[in-house]
Amino acid sequence: MSCEECCQRRGLGGRMIPVPGEVAAGCGLAWKTAPEAREELVAALEADGVPVEAMTVIELLEFR
């Protein structure tokens, strides 16, 4: 939730999703955004002291 707060405050796109099984087995939350936003995202999270457990590029379906 700190990640969401950080990104929304800075106007960075993305949203919270259930953590995909390819990233971690079990349950939890992940921040979903476009791969090209990676650099800006990392800088923002570092600046706000939000810890990052993992960052993975995967293909996800968008239905609507």
Site for another protein, rule CB under 8 A: 1-2, 4-5, 16-19, 24-29
Q: Between 39 and 61, whose beta carbon lies closer to another protein? A: 61
Q: Which two tokens stand for residue 21?
A: 């099984």
Q: Which of 56, 43, 46 is nearest to 17 (CA)?
A: 56
Least Å distance, CB 53 to another protein, is 8
Q: Three-state SS for 15?
A: strand
Which DSSP letter does residue 35 get?
A: G
State the nearest-atom distance from the C-beta of 20 to another protein, in Å.
Answer: 11
Q: Between 16 and 58, name the residue whose CB sits nearer to another protein.
A: 16
